[in-house]
Each structure stands twice: as structure tokens, then as C-alpha cells.
Amino acid sequence: MLPVPVLERAQKELLSYGSSGMSVMEMSHRSGHYQEIIDEAEQTLREIMGIPDHYKVLFLQGGASSQFAMIPLNLFRNSKKADYVNTGAWSKKAIKEAARYGKVNVVASSEESTFNYIPVLDPAKFDREADYFYITTNNTIYGTRFTDLPDTGDVPLMADMSSNILSEVYDVSKFGVIFAGAQKNMGPAGVTMAVIREDLVGHAMEMTPTMFNYKTHVEAGSMFNTPPTYGIYMCKLVFDWLKEMGGVPAMQKINEEKAQALYDFLDASDLFSGTVAQKKDRSLMNIPFVTGDKALDAQFIKEAAVKGMVNLKGHRSVGGMRASIYNAMPLEGVQKLVDLMKQFEVENK
């Protein structure tokens, strides 16, 4: 979902942005009007995330999946070794990609239990010579999230925050690189945001393509080539909306309330149950659940769609249902889902 006020503002400005006389979609990315847009997007993002001055902010293309290669290509600078935690489909893909360029040490994995928990990390297994340590903070398919960040010492921590960026407060200074695809909490698909500690820029492997070198984009202010201009504009509107809401701390409180409403029902239900093994690992953004009967699951998804509740079908690897309650989903939406689940349970006991 995108916030309704954001869509309404985009609608209002569709034909003419400010005094420009043209749509953002028609602008040259080299124009003064567009420079204003991308500068304001970065500044507001810095404010709401608390990004320190010695971190660079980039708006890139290629999806978060491109970062699976960009991270090792830019960070394998000394030992060409990295520690990874395997907590889902996306970390698994990142591990496979990084292994093309150096040695990957999987310090922990929950794959044996279909990724239904976040593994406890043993610091004794961390490689102190690693060039970086990599985690996926939230796992969309399996509904888990890191609630405790690993202490990696002098080894820079990399984080794929694609599915929970701006949903809860993080201390950016604890990370070397944070990246996220826009399409969950920041804007429409097509933009990838990266926040990079400046001392990690400029050490790319010799083989690194120009477009995959962070230095290329840092030096060009995210405009080495034509950026996804309208997508960045939409992200700017979302950042503005979030700032007006009270920023990430206020959003986190709302997200916790939304998630608690659904988890409380699941914990009390005789028909529905969550699939995450440990309560402490539960995601605020993605809540998978099942009835235990595939036919009933399919019936519930069908009835929900009739009520206007769509995209509830779970991933094929876990089945069942999955409620994705990203930032723009209001509490009322979660309450309507819970009401439907209560009604469905009464009718199918």
C-alpha cells in the first residue's frame, strides 16, 4: 500500500510540479526542479532515519537483488571473506551471489525448520577477519525479524532492510551498509535506497562494473545515469508523510499496535495459528498463519478477496495465508481482517 495522502498529492501534482509547468515524469533529471526533488528526498530521509553526516545516501536501480552482488564487489577488500546469517529466501540468494566473488561463512541458519525462527548467533563462529557481516533484518515469506542485532565489533554490518525499512527505529551508526527496495515501505517499485558509511566507498574489486561501483554513484549524486525520477519523487512524498506522522518512532508504535492486534487473535484462536516458532522473532510487517487445512485456507483467501482483502495467499514454501501490514496499512485494515477471521472461525468450527 501507499498512503492515501501521498497518492492524492501525486495526483494533484501530476500535470505540473510546482511552477515547472510539467509533470515530474517529463522532467530532465539535470533540471533545477528535479535537483530540488532528489535533494529534499535525501534530506528528509536523513532526518527520519537519523543518518549521520559520514554516511552517503544513494537512490539506485536494479532492485535490492543487485545489492547481493554490489555488497561483495565493493566490500571484499582485504580477506575476501564474509559472514552471513541464512534466515530466508533472500539471504539464501545473497549468499549464493557473494560466493561468486569470495569465501562465504554461514555462521547460522534456520533453513532446516523452513526458516520459522531467527537462529541464536554464537560470536565464537564469527570471523574477525571477515570484510563484512550480512543479515536480512526482516523476512517477508516466513514472518521473522531480528530483534537483537549481532555485535560484529570492527567488522562492518550489512543489512537488507527491504521489507522493514522505516517501520522501526534503528541506530544507523551500527551498520556499514543498509539497503532496501522501495516497494514495501518507501514508494513504488523501481528504486533501491542504499546508505553507506563513507569509509567503505572507493575499494571496489578491479572486476567491478562501473554501474556496480558505489563510488560511481556517490561521486555523481545518484545521477551517473538517469535515475528512476518519478519513483524517487514518490519516495520523497512518502518521507514527507512519515515526517508529518511523527517520524519512525511514531510509525513503530503504530506498527506494534497493528501486529499485536493480529498476533493476540492468532494466539487465542482455535482455528488459526501463526507459523513463527518463537514469539520474540515475530515480524511487525509480515504475519503468516494457517488453519491446518489447505482447503479451509483456500476458502478463507477466497472469502477475504470478496471482502476486498487481497494478496493474503502465503508463499508456496509455507502455504496458508500471510498478512503484510506495511506502514501505509492503517490499524482499521488489520481490525477488519481480525473481524473476518473471527467470523470465519465461528462458521467453520
Which residues are tagged catalytic? 90, 160, 184
Cβ atoms of 172 and 303 closer than 8 Å = no
- Read off the pLDDT of each residue in 95-115 and give the average, rounded to a whole number: 97
CA distance linking residue 230 with residue 20, whole number of Å: 15
DSSP 11-62: HHTSS--TTSSS-GGGS-TTSHHHHHHHHHHHHHHHHHHT--TTEEEEEESS
What pTM, to 2 d.p., does this model score? Answer: 0.97
Look at residue 318 and tell me whether its pLDDT is greater than 90. Answer: no
The pLDDT > 70 percentage for the chain reads: 100
Query: pLDDT tens digits, residue range 210-230?
Result: 999 999 999 999 999 999 999
Q: Say yes or no: domain 4-245 is CATH 3.40.640.10.
A: yes
Domain ranges of the chain: 4-245, 247-347
Summarize the confidence of residues 60-77 as an average pLDDT: 97
C-alpha cell at 277: 516458532
Which pLDDT belongs to residue 316? 84
Region 324-349: what's the mean pLDDT?
97
Helix, strand counts (H, E) of the chain: 9, 12
Closest by CA to 338, choosing from 295, 289, 299, 278, is: 289
* CATH fold of 247-347: Aspartate Aminotransferase, domain 1 (3.90.1150)
Instruction: Tell me the average pLDDT of the chain.
Output: 97
* 208: Cα within 13 Å, side-chain hemisphere: 25
Alpha-carbon dihedral 44, 50, 56, 59, rounded to 10 degrees: -40
Task: Extract the C-alpha cell encoding 247.
Answer: 517520524
- φ/ψ (deg, to 5) at 195: -115, 120
